[in-house]
């Protein structure tokens, strides 16, 4: 039961982070989302 709760919390966190990244990407649109893409890719060049 605990694992389900933790998994659900992680899912919600991922959803919130995803929405935050999407928002940041819109804010940075004139910069081609450079910072956002770096964050999404985990700096894997």
3-class SS letters over 7-26: HHHHHHHHHHHHHHHHHHHH
Instruction: Judge whether 36 and 28 are in contact, CB under 8 Å.
Output: yes
pLDDT over 60 (residue 43):
no
Q: Which helix (H) or strand (E) holds 31?
A: none
The structure tokens 């700096």 sit at: 43
pLDDT over 60 (residue 1):
no
pLDDT over 80 (residue 6):
no
Per-residue pLDDT of 8-42, as tens digits, reads: 788 788 888 888 888 877 777 766 656 666 777 76
What's the pLDDT score for residue 5? 66
What is the Cα 44 distance to its own chain's centre?
Answer: 15
What's the pLDDT score for residue 41? 72
């Amino acid at each position: 039961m605990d694992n389900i709760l933790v998994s659900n919390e992680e899912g919600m966190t991922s959803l919130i982070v995803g929405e935050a990244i999407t928002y940041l990407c819109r804010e940075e649109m004139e910069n081609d989302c450079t910072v956002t893409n770096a964050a999404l890719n985990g700096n894997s060049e």
